[in-house]
Structure 1
Amino acid sequence: MKKHLAALAAVLALNACGSVTSLKPAQGQSLPVAPYGATATPTPTELLTPDNQARPQRSEDLLRKSESRRGDDFDLPPPN
């Protein structure tokens, strides 16, 4: 019983640590300047959203059966 109560207390304590308010810069600070070539300064949400290069999509090209590889034109033997 005490273990269940301790686990419940730990879960409630961890739940209270989360914040659901929007992100804002610290008081007296401002957002970073706009990147070179950008027309506006990005919002905190835009800064926290990873782009496609940071999180590439999974390739859905799965092999269904064994297939021989095609020749690689750049796989050359070392020069003598």
Structure 2
Amino acid sequence: MYRMAVPLALAALLAGCGQSAELKPRAGQQLPAAPYGRDDRPGANQLLAPRTQDMPQRSDELRSRSEDRQDDPFDLPPQG
């Protein structure tokens, strides 16, 4: 048990120490070109930030009480 606990603890410590500095492209490489119709080139943090369209909100209404289901014309018994 102890033999597995030490490597797991070390792995957890290494996973928690990430770099929190400004993101920059590698040497000799550039960020992607500016999107069509935009004059400025977005930075790395802007490219990594999710847009509203990428995080849709729930739009369906939850049922607050049970209701009888309507007949489904496509709910057919198996053939055979």
The TM-score, its normalising length taken from structure 1, stands at: 0.62
Equivalents in 2 of 1:57, 1:26: separation in Å?
Answer: 35
Per the TM alignment, residue 54 of structure 1 is displaced from its structure 2 partner at its CA by: 1.8
1:7 aligns with 2:8: yes
Q: What is the CA deviation profile of residues 6-55 of structure 1, one whole-angstrom value per residue up to 9, with x for unaligned ones?
A: 33222223234x22122101112222121111131111111111222222
Moved more, 3-12 or 32-41: 3-12
Does the alignment pair 1:38 with 2:68? no
Root-mean-square deviation (CA), in Å?
2.5
4+ runs deviating over 4 angstroms: none
Fraction of identical pairs, as percent: 35
How many residues end up aligned between the 2 structures? 68
Higher relative contact order (CA 8 A, sep 6+): 2
Letter in 2 for 1:35: P
Runs of 5+ unmatched residues, structure 2: 71-80
Letter in 2 for 1:4: A
